[in-house]
Structure 1
Amino acid sequence: MPTITGGTTRPVKKSNNKKRVQKKQTPFGSSCMYKGAKKRKLIALDTNILMTDPLAMFHFNGKDPKDDDNDIFIPLKVLLELDRKKVPKKGGDEKQTRNARTAAKMLLYLTESVPMSQIKNGIPLIKPGEKIPNGRSRKHFKAKLFFEMPKENELEKFLDPDNSDHEILRSCLKKRKEDAVLPEGKSHDFLLVSFDNIMRIVGLLVGLRVETYLNETPSEESFRSKGVHYFPLELLRRQKTEDGEMPHPIPQQDGKREYVFKGKEFENVVMYEFLIFGRPLDSETRRQLEPETERQYIVLEKVNAQTVHVRELKDYQYQEKVFYVHAMNAEQNCLVNAILDYRTPLVIAEGGAGTGKTFITLACAYQQIKNGVHKIVQVSRDAVESGESIGFLPGSVESKIKNFLPGVLGGRDTLLRLLSKDIKEKKKFCANEKKVAEEDTLAVDIKTLPKSKRRQYRRDRVATKKAGQQVKGGGYVSDEIARLEALWVHLQGEGTSFESVSLLRGANISNIALIDEAQHTKTNQGKMLGSRVQEGGQLVLTGNVEQDDVGISFRDSGVAKLIDATRGTDLMNLITLRTVERGRLAARIAQYYGK
């Protein structure tokens, strides 16, 4: 007789003497769970779990859709503790504070991803940008998130009378209850508007309709913009005519051509954004497949909703160099073109650690100085520490700010070493040329040459003497080498100026200014930096929007406001670097933490 713990089964014989496949049967039907079978779990998360891993709610389910999906439960007290822990305190753990803010943002994203009526039935645990597995829909997604949803009369025991946010919630609930009994025509559709993530979540849980204040927030279109759009090569081939040529070519003096592209794929493209046509990224290495086949363009004009006027970019990846180095990928090539060729007043380079944003922008700045476009580069960043405070720093303002710019200092040393190498090679070349010329002069007697070659020989000797000049030390150095030596001294000294962001107020940016870790800039600092740029000056901002050390989200930072104010004009280029070039280990770590 079968039992719930396994039991026994008997084969059933048919009249044709064939044995039937044995199946386990239970007296409770096919839905009965045997001992040892996997069961769905409802996992309650404590506050310290979310403060250690702000994405912990996604980490209790397998990647395979066949795996059992576990539901997550967040008590209301956990939300209120996150609200209390998100404010940084002196001497507190900044990492946990940052994680509390990240967890609050993610929980708000999940809460707002479904209608208010569906929150009590469970919210599908789907990450931002994650694709829903085949065979599932968002509504019937197995893994779900549940919140503790108290009734209005039960909320009092959770609220702190000394907390101003809790008092606001209490007042809103009281006012909505009073307004509900008013006669029709005098009642209102009650709405709570707040920037506070936890207050918005709790408001939704108790049935309040909540919104954020969009007037002070950058538009969603600007916030999502990466500045670079990727398309398959097939789309570029479709732009060609029957004879294989691109439509409407407009040749320019520098050899680059301009074209007019049409298609619904260009609807979200605006002026001065970049188009990259190429193969997709490799799923394992996250690097571009066949980068030599890529084609890159800048949008000069948005003709209409589906038509753009574009121009070819100069190739700094394989042909030209920027201060002795090549661009490592297509995004870096777009960045170099924006700074060197188009001299855009505001250039924003965004990307993760190791994408080369600081190094390549410094190389562009030094190339501008070498070309005579600018005299100096002003390097600055906010004095924000990434961990525990190191206390008071002695010395001048420049020596203090240098402690926060190891990436810039390392990049400067690398570029100056390349400059020194170029000087040594040119000196060696000139010395060899002089030696060869002297040997030829001693070895050849002009009287022994035919008359037809004597005149050319004299011209060659005059040209050899004019090729260089005698300088101290006995070296035979050309004017070019002397200029490069002066450039090395200039860049090592006053050519690279280190300043604090706070001291730029009232100054004019007439050369090129590089602001590192710009995601930490506040709204007023972004306004101050943008209003400092003179005509002909350039402001280059670099940063990583995923890194938040001061409690300012990218949406609320000064950089986001600058993007929103200048997007779609010829005053700003935004380039998002996605490929890690520092090394294989750095790329592997970035891929792991970017899951």
Structure 2
Amino acid sequence: MKKVFLLDTNVLLHDPEAMRRFQDNDVVLPITVIEELDRFKKQPDMVGRNARHTSRLLDELRRTGNLTEGIPVSPAGGTLKVVLCHRETLQKLPVELEGDKGDNAILAVGLELKQHCQCPVILVSKDTNLRIKADALALAAEDYETDKVDVEELYSGACELSTTPDQIDQFYAHKTLDLPEAVYPHQAVTLVDVTKPDHTAISIADSRGQSLQALTRQPKEGILHIRPRNREQAFALELLLDDAVPLVTLEGKAGTGKTLLAIAAGLHQVINEKHYTRLLISRPIVPMGRDLGYLPGDIGEKLSPWMQPLYDNFDLIFGTTDSTNKPAHWRRGHEELMERGLLQIEPLTYIRGRSIPKQFLIIDEAQNLTPHEVKTILTRAGEGTKIVLTGDVDQIDSPYLDAASNGISYVVERFKTDPLGGHMTLIKGERSLLAERAATLL
């Protein structure tokens, strides 16, 4: 049955193309949404960009018809309409919801549509509280789930296959093994002897997922004094050092070594192997808790508090806290590399419009990005560039994202069958015993 979907402002700020994604159903925008978009459009971040994109799209649609009567926006027959909020309906809201607040105007429009429409009316919002208010008013409400993935079934990047003893012996002898059934491209596979479960072999699938290859490095062989401490870290390092995999996603709880392994692999590829001209690291500026406001100083001084977690990893890699017996150019750590143009650290704010060729690009804390923002980043990749996304879906600071709708989960699910992508979920914390226990218990 055809439905009427009433969109909240935050849905369009999350995905400017949302109004076109409801197939043959009708989409309604309250006039207060247009007013709120106007307030956001001057912001310099991705939210402001999405607000401007939505406004331009609405202006283009306006030229093709009358927005108050309905304009086709989907080949399946869906329409878009902008409606006014009548003061009489707004005054009928409960006393607790009186006033000119935007959320109240959206609720009033929803109740009016429900009264006059023969079709089901559904409010779509990423605001949990607004959905609760709508439910209290007997107005159907749901989250925007077009770009959501099933968290319970999220691809881990690894699996186990039961094999015969002869197959494992054959794999150790020839370093390769053909598979009777295909797995995902670049998937980490542990071969387990059906007759003796402790007789195993670790391998990684080729780009077609039809055969297994031995890891190019021994499980405990590291780079820049950083060695993998568990099987998942060994698999992750294999993907990070494989030039045939231009997109790598690393997901895992705090302390599992995601950022450290990515930075170590990037430095190794830039300094030692010289496969890339520069290591470029960026992360979204999303505070945990209350923001401190404007920070004094130039761009480097402003970024320093946000990028300090990255500097901590550089100190660990270069051993700059203990420079004994270290080469002279290592003693200053990342500062020396930045002066030589081999390392660049910048916020994601300035990445739009760039073309990034032959660089090792790390996007840290990618769980705080929307799917649209991740798409913007990936489309910056030039020829010969490798992109690594790291994140923890249990540590999301953005109010309108969750484990199912954030950027890194979206990329993992979309690229799991693509030969250009590789993924690994890191499970065991290696930062310290206390950090591992806290991540598990708290």
* Both structures adopt the same fold (TM-score exceeding 0.5): yes
AA at the equivalent of 1:498: I
Structure 1 residues 204, 393: closer, same or farther in 2, change over 3 A?
A: closer
1:399 aligns with 2:301: yes
Residues 9-38 of structure 1, C-alpha deviations (whole Å, 9 max, x = no match): xxxxxxxxxxxxxxxxxxxxxxxxxxxxxx
1:365 aligns with 2:248: no
1:538 aligns with 2:405: no
2:398 alignment partner, SS class:
coil
2:377 alignment partner, SS class:
helix
2:226 alignment partner, SS class:
coil
Report the CA distance between 1:342 and its aligned residue. 4.3
Work out the CA distance in 2 between the residues paired with 1:488 and 1:176: 60
AA at the equivalent of 2:432: G
What is aligned with 1:225? 154
What is aligned with 1:381? 283
AA at the equivalent of 2:177: E
Work out the CA distance in 1 between the residues paired with 2:330 and 2:435: 34
Structure 1 residues 487, 278: closer, same or farther in 2, change over 3 A?
A: farther
1:311 aligns with 2:213: yes
Q: 2:367 aligns with which of 497, 519, 543?
A: 519
Q: 1:348 aligns with which of 236, 249, 267?
A: 249
Report the CA distance between 1:537 and its aligned residue. 0.9
Work out the CA distance in 2 between the residues paired with 1:547 and 1:170: 35
AA at the equivalent of 1:559: I
Quick one: percent identity of the two aligned structures? 23
Q: CA RMSD in A?
A: 4.0
Work out the CA distance in 2 between the residues paired with 1:275 and 1:198: 43
Query: What is the 5 A alignment of 1:278-297?
Result: 295-297=202-204
1:579 alignment partner, SS class:
coil
2:438 alignment partner, SS class:
helix
Report the CA distance between 1:562 and its aligned residue. 3.6
Structure 1 unaligned residues grouped into runs of 5+: 1-153, 180-186, 280-289, 303-307, 425-481
* Contact 2:113 2:121 survives alignment (8 Å): no
1:341 alignment partner, SS class:
coil
Q: 1:260 aligns with which of 170, 176, 179?
A: 179
Work out the CA distance in 2 between the residues paired with 1:560 and 1:363: 23
Report the CA distance between 1:351 and its aligned residue. 1.9
1:344 alignment partner, SS class:
coil
AA at the equivalent of 2:401: S
Residues 362-401 of structure 1, C-alpha deviations (whole Å, 9 max, x = no match): 1111111211212321122223332343343333323332
2:306 alignment partner, SS class:
coil
Residues 480-516 of structure 1, C-alpha deviations (whole Å, 9 max, x = no match): xx99999999536432222222222333322112222
What is aligned with 1:274? 188
Report the CA distance between 1:258 and its aligned residue. 3.5
What is aligned with 1:390? 292
Work out the CA distance in 2 between the residues paired with 1:291 and 1:516: 36
What is aligned with 2:167? 245
AA at the equivalent of 1:364: A
2:429 alignment partner, SS class:
coil
2:302 alignment partner, SS class:
helix
What is aligned with 2:398? 550
Report the CA distance between 1:259 and its aligned residue. 2.8
Q: Normalising by the residue count of structure 1, what TM-score does the alignment of the two structures yield?
A: 0.49
Structure 1 residues 422, 228: closer, same or farther in 2, change over 3 A?
A: farther
What is aligned with 2:232? 331
What is aligned with 1:12? none
More strand by share: 2
Structure 2 unaligned residues grouped into runs of 5+: 1-91
Residues 10-67 of structure 1, C-alpha deviations (whole Å, 9 max, x = no match): xxxxxxxxxxxxxxxxxxxxxxxxxxxxxxxxxxxxxxxxxxxxxxxxxxxxxxxxxx
Q: Which has the larger radius of gyration?
A: 1
Structure 1 residues 507, 210: closer, same or farther in 2, change over 3 A?
A: closer
Structure 1 residues 589, 423: closer, same or farther in 2, change over 3 A?
A: closer
Report the CA distance between 1:316 and its aligned residue. 4.5
* Contact 1:515 1:542 survives alignment (8 Å): yes
Report the CA distance between 1:312 and its aligned residue. 3.0
AA at the equivalent of 1:538: K
Residues 549-573 of structure 1, C-alpha deviations (whole Å, 9 max, x = no match): 2324144444344445433112222
Structure 1 residues 421, 373: closer, same or farther in 2, change over 3 A?
A: farther
Work out the CA distance in 2 between the residues paired with 1:409 and 1:574: 25
* Contact 2:122 2:140 survives alignment (8 Å): yes
* Contact 1:249 1:259 survives alignment (8 Å): no
Does 1 or 2 have the higher relative contact order (CA < 8 Å, sep 6+)?
2
Q: 2:316 aligns with which of 414, 417, 437?
A: 414
Work out the CA distance in 2 between the residues paired with 1:492 and 1:416: 14
1:300 alignment partner, SS class:
coil
Report the CA distance between 1:340 and its aligned residue. 0.4
What is aligned with 1:592? 441
What is aligned with 1:81? none
Structure 1 residues 218, 567: closer, same or farther in 2, change over 3 A?
A: farther
AA at the equivalent of 2:124: S
What is aligned with 1:96? none
* Contact 2:255 2:431 survives alignment (8 Å): yes
Q: Normalising by the residue count of structure 2, what TM-score does the alignment of the two structures yield?
A: 0.64
